[in-house]
A = this chain, B = another copy of it.
């Protein structure tokens, strides 16, 4: 080991996020905003709705005209006209008056509510009978009741779900400032790794991590940029890392899980411009031999991760620490937590070592209306257990194990 072995806990690793800058914003069309991260606060320039709107089919009225109306003792109102969709009514409504209106129609001046069509009877061309009273504001939305002019409706750093995109549409924001998707470089290392389209010779295996990590990057809102497989050779890895540093916002190097390869991954990362090893080992299992380094490219500090070669370990490290970094550099700043964990009961006892956080793959099973987490034990080089798994549970650093029936939080996979 050439440097001090900086084993960190997860919290310490996550604190390094602020060492890195977020990607630049860009303007996109409203149609392209799905899942993107907002790079500006959105202040409404209008009231929504900007007219009093019916939310039911029926008659626009002054609520007071209906007070006390029942089937036995209906109110009789004069019909002043019909309000067409998208029309501004050319008359107003006074006490004892009504106007036929459809859902979404504009209430005439003087009307404050809508009597549902179901509670009315047409008596003649100009008279209806109303069998139920309405309260002021009922079956109508007032000007600004949804969104008020000048209100901050969406905040920078917020990820845009369908409803947020809908709100932007309602406000007429046809172009929206969002953060660029962070480009995440992916490098596989190891003399034993062959490309997927080759038949591995004896003692060799296909490159799995490039594919799992690419898919994870997409899920996390980034763009994977793959750099292929690098042999266990300092110069080859240095050259690839220098290229990835120039072309990516962050880099994931997987493999090099043997001590020898780890050593020269550290050497390479220490040789990059403006480099520094921030973390060398994380107190988690699987995933302990993880490296976090920084490097500079044109005044930009970029994170380099040395991930374990075992596919399960690399995926766990991604879920636990890499994903938050991608979100951070991708501009996500919203305090409001959108990822809530599932809760389940443990189906059997599991033991765990103290001094590290253990991540256990679990399958979720619904039994008798309860959700059970069934641990899938298996070596971290085996992808099959990840395919069977629905999530991960965490066994705390000071816990020796968990008992059957205990409630656990599940990180969905």
> Measuring CB to CB, which residues of chain A are less than 8 angstroms from any residue of chain B?
30-31, 33-35, 48-51, 53, 55, 57, 84-88, 102-106, 117, 141, 145-147, 153-154, 160-174, 190-193, 196-216, 218-219, 226, 232, 257-261, 309-311, 315, 337-338, 340, 342-343, 364, 366, 371, 379-384, 386-387, 389-390, 412-413
- Is B413 a contact partner of A212 (Cβ separation < 8 A)? no
Which residues from B are CB-within-8-Å of A105?
192, 203, 258
A203 CA to B163 CA, complexed, in Å: 23
Q: Note all chain B residues with C-beta closer than 8 A to A30.
A: 196, 211
**Residue numbers in B under 8 Å from A84 (CB-CB):** 191
Cβ contacts under 8 Å, A261 to chain B: 85, 102
Contact A215–B102 (Cβ < 8 Å): no
- In the complex, which residues of chain B have a beta carbon less than 8 angstroms from the beta carbon of A53? 205, 381
- What's the nearest-Cβ distance from chain B to residue A62, in Å? 20
Report yes or no: A86 in contact with B211, Cβ–Cβ below 8 A: no
- In contact, A383 and B166 (Cβ under 8 angstroms): yes
Return the contact of A259 from the options B102, B141, B192, B315 (Cβ within 8 A): B102
Query: Which chain B residue has the least Cβ–Cβ distance from A311?
Result: B166
Say yes or no: B49 contacts A162, CB within 8 Å.
no
Distance, CA A163 to CA B380, complexed state (A):
13
Q: How far is the CA of A235 from the CA of B383 in the complex (A)?
A: 56
Expressed in whole angstroms, the minimum distance between the Cβ of A122 and any Cβ of chain B is 14
Contact, CB under 8 Å: A204 / B86 = yes
Query: Which B residue's beta carbon lies closest to that of A361?
Result: B163
A257 touches B196 (CB 8 A): no
A202 and B88 contact, Cβ closer than 8 Å, known pairs A146-B381, A208-B169, A311-B166: yes
Kindly state the separation between the CA atoms of A407 and B165 in the bound complex, as whole angstroms: 31
- With both beta carbons as reference points, the residue of chain B lying nearest to A49 in the complex is identified as B205
Instruction: Please indicate the chain B residues that have their CB under 8 angstroms from the CB of A203 in the complex.
Output: 51, 86-88, 105-106
Q: Is B51 touching A170 in the complex (CB atoms < 8 A)?
A: no
B34, B55, B147, B204: the one contacting A215 at CB < 8 Å is B34
A413 touches B161 (CB 8 A): yes
Most B CB contacts (10 A, CB to CB) among A167, A192, A211, A387 go to: A211
Bound-complex Cα distance A89 to B261 (A) = 19
A48 to B381, CA, bound (A): 10
CB atoms of A386 and B86 under 8 A apart: no
Whether A212 contacts B55 by the Cβ 8 Å rule is no
Interface centre among A86, A164, A389 (most CB of B within 10 A): A86
**Distance in angstroms between the alpha carbons of A381 and B260 in the assembled complex:** 63
* 17 sampled A-B residue pairs with Cβ under 8 A: A33-B215, A34-B214, A34-B219, A53-B381, A57-B258, A85-B190, A88-B203, A102-B258, A103-B257, A106-B202, A106-B203, A145-B379, A146-B383, A146-B384, A163-B212, A337-B366, A340-B366
8 Å CB contact of A206 from B51, B169, B196, B204: B169
User: Bound complex: CA of A168 vs CA of B216, how far in Å?
Assistant: 15
Residues of chain B contacted by A165 (CB below 8 angstroms): 211-212, 214-215
Candidates B163, B208, B343; contact of A387 at CB < 8 Å? B163
Q: Is the CB of B145 within 8 A of A382?
A: yes
Shortest beta-carbon distance from A119 to chain B in Å: 14
In Å, the complex CA distance between A165 and B205 comes to 16
Residue of B nearest to A202 (CB): B88
Question: A85-B191, A146-B381, A232-B85 given as contacts; is B31 within 8 A of A211 (CB)?
Answer: yes
